[in-house]
Structure 1
Amino acid sequence: MAFPKVGRAGLPVVIGRAVMISRITAKGTVCLVLLGVALSTPMAWAEISLFGASSDEWLRGIVFQAQLDGGIMANPARPTNGINFGDFLGDHANQAQLNQVTVKIERAIDPAKQTYQIGFTLQGLYGSDARYYHLLGVSDRLIDARYQLLPEQVHVDAHLPWLTKGGLDMRAGILQSPMGVETLDPTQRPFYTLAYTSQYSAPFEHLGAMFDWHLTSMFDVTFGVDTGNQTSWGRADNNNAAAGYFGVNVTGLLGGKLNIIELSRVGPEDARRSLGKRANTAERFWNDLSLYYTVNERLSLTGEFNYLHDDGLRAETYSFVSFLAYKISPTLTFNYRGEIYRDNTGLFVSSFLSDRAYMQAYLGESVPVETAPPTTYGALTLGLTYHPDLGGVFRVFEMRPEVRFDRSLNGTHPFNTNRNTGMFTFGGDMVVGF
C-alpha cells in the first residue's frame, strides 16, 4: 500500500504477505515447501483436537492451536526517534516486544478427497505485529497502544469437486494475502525481520474470496476478488472500487525439485482523501514471481522477483530477493537473505511513528511518518534457526538470531533518523508453540 507524501510527516506505504506451496501428490503424500525449504522439522503449530472423542468425523477434524513470538532488534547507532527505518516487525530499536500471541481454531479441508467438503479457520492475534495487518473498519480502532488485537483469519473454506479431477478450493471471509514469499506466521519464514519487498510491495490482508483451481497434479490457477488491500466496505474502504488476483502455481518441475508461483493483482488502492475521485479508477498493478528450488536434503534456494506500478501516484517499485537455507544438523539451519529494492519515488518505504499511524495513512490522513527520497536499497540478512524437539507441552520451539545490514546504494541517507547511508541491526526472536 502506498500513500502520497504530505511533507515529511504525512505519508503512507505498500504492504505484503506470503506463500506456502501445498500440494497433494498422486499417492496422497502431503508435500509442503516453505520458503523453498522442504519441511523436515516438526510442524510449527501444535494441534489439539477439540472433539477427539466424538463419533462425528467432521467434528474430530476441528483442532486448536496456539503460538507465541517475541523479539528485539538492536541498533548501535541509536536513532533519535527510536525507530529502525524500514522495519515493521522489529521497528522499535533496542526494545524487546511481544510480536504475537496467536490462537487458531480450524477445520481444514483435504484437497486429496474428491468429495464436497466444508471447513473454516478462526485465527486471532494479539501483539505489536497487529498494527500493520488490520482491515479498515474491522479492527484498526480497537486498541491504540503498541499491542493490538487482530482477526488474522476468519473464513469459510470449501472443496468443490468440479470441472477437473483436482476440483476447486474456495476461501471466503477475512483472508491473508497469498502473494510473496514471507508470511505473518514466523514459523513459515526464515527471519524475524521482513524484506522490503514483503513490507512495501505485496498486500497483507483482504476481505473477499479466493479460489484455487487444480487443473492437473502439477498446475493450479489462483484467482479472487476483494474490497482492496486492508480495507472493508463503506467509509472503511479508502476508495469505491474492488480489486483481485490472478496467477498460476506450477509444482514438481525438474524431478520434483522446482516449484514456481506467479501472482498478479490489479485494482485501485489509493485513498480518496489524497487523490480525490481519481482514486476510484487509478489502478495499481502488483506482480510477484517466486521460484523454490530444493538442491538436496540440506540445501534449498528461493528467488523472488517483484514489480509494482501505481497509476494514481505515478510511482513504481521493483526488486529481487534471494534466500538460501542450509540444514547444518537436524536442529540447526543457516539462513541467508539478500535483496535489491528500488523505490522510484520515495512514496513507499516509510516508518510510521505512532501505533495507529500505519492504518490512518491508508485512509489518506496526515500521520507522523519518517520517509526517504527515491532510493535503491540493498539488504543482507544472515541468521540461524535452532529448533529442537522439546516434547511434552512445548510442541514447538525456535530461536532465530540474525544480523542485518541495510544500505542506500544511490547515496541517500534514509537510516538512523536520516543521518546515515547504512544501518546495522542485530537481534532475533523466539517462537513457542503449544
Structure 2
Amino acid sequence: MGLCGGVVSWPEGTWAAPSEQGGSVQATLAGTSSSSAPAAPSPAPVAAPSAVQPAAPAGKSWFSDIDVGLQIEGGAMANTGHPENGMNFGQLLQSHSDTGMLNQVALTITKPVDPIGDGYGLGANIQMLYGSDARAYIITGISDRWLDHHRYQLTPIQANIALHMPWLTKDGLDMQLGILSSPMGVEVLNPAGRAFYTMSYTAQYSNPFEHIGFYGQWHLNSHYAVLFGMDAGNQKSFGRGNNNGEPAGYVGFNASQLAGGALSLTYLLRVGPEDPRRALGSHRAHEAQRFWNDLNATWQINPKWSLTAEATQVHDEGLDANTWSGVIWGAYAATSTLTLNARAEVYRDSTGQFVVQYPEDTGYGRSLLGLPARTYSAPATTYGDLSFNAVWRPNIGHHVKLLQIRPEIRFDRSLNSTRPFADFRHQNRILIGGDVTLGF
C-alpha cells in the first residue's frame, strides 16, 4: 500500500530510495514539489546511477544539508448511500462518511546521501505522522499503543539510514536499513505523491504498508536493477510486536528509461508468513506463506499524457484466500498547475477476508496481532471502481512550498451482485469530496 514526503536523496544521478508504500521513487521532502501538478501515480523511473559525488569542500559539515519539511492534509468524502454505521466500506483511510478528517500532519527530517570516502555514501531519514491515516499505518510493537483509543494517532513512517556502496558493478549497491515503507505498488501514502485522495482496493488490501528491515537495489547498468529485501513482516516489529515470529522478504527488478525514456516498469515478489498465531496456532502460522505479486508500468505518451497500469495477485495459504486485481490510471496535464486524472479498477476478493472495514480506532492494529476486533466484511466480491479528479497546485510562494487541492468523485459497484455498501444494502455507491494539502 504506501509516505508523506521525503525520502533520503542519493547523489545526483543515482537511485533515490523507494518512498512510502508503493513502487514510486521520490527524493522530495514533505511539502516540497515542482510547480506542476502531479501526473498519474507511477513507478517513477530509477535515474541512471553514477559514482558518489566528490567529497564536500573543506569546512563543510556533513550535517549542513539536513532539511526539514512539514506537510498537512485534511479532507472528507460524502457517501450517497448514507450508511447508518457511518463507514465508507472498503476505505481504510477515508473510512468515515460525511466526516471531515485530519488525515496527516507529517514531519520529515532528511539527511541526503553524501560521500564519506572511497566511493561510499551515507544518509538518513526520519518521518513521523500524526492523524487519522496513522490508524492504518501503525507498526505493532512500536506505535500500536500510542494514542490507541483516539481517531488521530501517531506512527513512524520512516526511521532509517541509507547507504551507497561501490560494490559488484560500476553503479554499485544502494540500501536502506530501519523502519521503511513498502516498495510494492503504485499509490503511496504521501498525498503529494499520488493522484487521488481515495485509494484503490489494490493499494489498501493487496499491497503491504510498513516494514522493519532492509531494502537493497543493485544497479546492473543505467536501465536495470535487481531489488531485494527482508523484514519482520507487514507492519510488524519483533518479540510481542510480531504476530508469528517469522520474517518475510522481497525480490524483483526495475527497468527504467526504456523506449527512449518513455517507459518504466517494476516487478516485485514478496513471500513470508503474515497470519497471526492467535488465529492459526503457532505451527500453522509459521508454515503458511503469503505470496504477493505486483507488476506496474508507466508510459509517458507525451509531455501532457501519461498512463500507468498495475496488476497484482495475492495467495494466502493460512486463510486459503486469493485476490487479483488490475488498475489503470490516466493523467492529462492541462496546464502547468492543473492535472486531470482518471482511475479504473477491477478487484477480486475470493473469500471476503481481505476487504475488511475496522470501525474502531484500534481495530486494524488488533487484527494484525490476531486480537479480538469488531470488523465489517462482505462475502466473496468482485469490486469495480471508477474515479475522476482534478489536481490543482497554484504557485503561491513565500513560505508555502505546496498547496494542493483535489476534488474527486468515485463510483463503486459490486460486479457479482453482492451488496457490500451502505450497511450491506446496496450494490453501488458514489463518494464525492476531496482534500487539501499544505507543505512548508
TM-score, normalised relative to structure 2: 0.88
Residues 216, 37 of structure 1: alpha-carbon distance in 2 compared, 3 angstrom cutoff: closer
1:46 aligned partner: 32
Taking the aligned partners of 1:120 and 1:322, their CA distance within structure 2 comes to: 33
The question of whether the paired residues in 1 share the 8 Å contact of 2:294 and 2:310 is answered with: yes
Cα distance, 1:367 vs. partner?
1.0
Task: Say if 2:159 is the partner of 1:174.
Answer: no
| SS class of match (2:63) | helix
Taking the aligned partners of 1:403 and 1:70, their CA distance within structure 2 comes to: 16
- Paired letter, 1:86: G
Task: Say if 2:45 is the partner of 1:60.
Answer: no
Residues 342, 117 of structure 1: alpha-carbon distance in 2 compared, 3 angstrom cutoff: same
Taking the aligned partners of 1:188 and 1:114, their CA distance within structure 2 comes to: 34
Cα distance, 1:55 vs. partner?
3.8
- The 5-angstrom pairing of residues 318-333 of structure 1 reads 318-333=324-339
Unaligned runs of 5+ in 2: 34-57
Q: Deviations over 1:163-219 (max 9, x none)?
A: 111111111111000000000111000001100000000100001111111110000
Taking the aligned partners of 1:260 and 1:37, their CA distance within structure 2 comes to: 10
2:41 aligned partner: none
Q: 1:363 aligns with which of 353, 358, 369?
A: 369
| SS class of match (2:281) | helix
Q: 2:248 aligns with which of 226, 240, 243?
A: 243
Q: 2:154 aligns with which of 149, 171, 176?
A: 149
Residues 110, 252 of structure 1: alpha-carbon distance in 2 compared, 3 angstrom cutoff: farther
Q: Deviations over 1:368-418 (max 9, x none)?
A: 111000000000010000001110011111000100000000000000110
- The 5-angstrom pairing of residues 5-24 of structure 1 reads 16-17=1-2
Residues 207, 36 of structure 1: alpha-carbon distance in 2 compared, 3 angstrom cutoff: closer
Residues 98, 65 of structure 1: alpha-carbon distance in 2 compared, 3 angstrom cutoff: same
Task: Say if 2:287 is the partner of 1:302.
Answer: no
2:36 aligned partner: none
2:213 aligned partner: 208
Task: Say if 2:192 is the partner of 1:187.
Answer: yes
Q: 1:72 aligns with which of 71, 76, 94?
A: 76
Task: Say if 2:405 is the partner of 1:399.
Answer: yes
| SS class of match (2:167) | coil
Taking the aligned partners of 2:18 and 2:216, their CA distance within structure 1 comes to: 20
2:268 aligned partner: 263
Cα distance, 1:43 vs. partner?
7.5
| SS class of match (1:56) | coil
The question of whether the paired residues in 2 share the 8 Å contact of 1:19 and 1:178 is answered with: no
Cα distance, 1:269 vs. partner?
0.3
- Paired letter, 1:17: G
The question of whether the paired residues in 2 share the 8 Å contact of 1:37 and 1:294 is answered with: no
Residues 43, 173 of structure 1: alpha-carbon distance in 2 compared, 3 angstrom cutoff: closer
Taking the aligned partners of 2:29 and 2:111, their CA distance within structure 1 comes to: 17
Cα distance, 1:114 vs. partner?
8.1
1:10 aligned partner: none
TM-score, normalised relative to structure 1: 0.89
Q: Could you list the structure 1 runs, at least 4 aligned residues long, displaced by more than 6 angstroms after superposition.
A: 24-27, 29-39
- Paired letter, 1:123: Q
Q: Deviations over 1:250-297 (max 9, x none)?
A: 001111100010011000000000000201110000010000110000
Count residues in correspondence.
409
Cα distance, 1:118 vs. partner?
1.1
Cα distance, 1:32 vs. partner?
12
2:436 aligned partner: 430
Q: 1:91 aligns with which of 87, 92, 95?
A: 95
Residues 305, 101 of structure 1: alpha-carbon distance in 2 compared, 3 angstrom cutoff: same
Tell me the C-alpha RMSD between the 2 structures. Answer: 2.8
Query: What fraction of aligned residue pairs are identical, expressed as a percent?
Result: 46
2:47 aligned partner: none
